[in-house]
Amino acid sequence: MTSPHTVEHTVLTVLSQILATTADDLRANPVLANYEWDSYSSLEALAQLESDLGIRFDLRAFNAASTVDDVIALAA
């Protein structure tokens, strides 16, 4: 089982790479729509997070995530 701290760190790392921003920026402004969050970046994040965390997301729930915190909660 992955610890909550590790999940949060992994999500922030993956999202910051895909969205070309920093983890600090994502924490300060967690609304994904404020970045270049589109269907391509969403699928890229989904695939990378599933691979890195060894989990499978419910696609509908993942697509409904609108903030970094939503993605962290789904991954936890």
**Helix, strand, or coil (residue 35):** coil
Q: Give the residue numbers spanning the domain of 27.
A: 4-75
User: At residue 67, does pLDDT exceed 90?
Assistant: yes
Which tokens in the block code for residue 69?
Answer: 């915190």
Give residue-wise pLDDT tens across range 13-51.
999 999 999 999 999 999 999 999 999 999 999 999 999
For residue 31, the cross-strand partners are 67
Q: Determine the pLDDT at residue 1.
A: 53
Q: What is the pTM of this model?
A: 0.92
Q: Give me the pLDDT at residue 5, please.
A: 79
Q: Among residues 40, 70, 52, which one has the least CA distance to residue 14?
A: 52
Q: Would you state the pLDDT for residue 3? A: 72
Domain of 57: which CATH number?
Answer: 1.10.1200.10
**What's the structural domain count of the chain?**
1
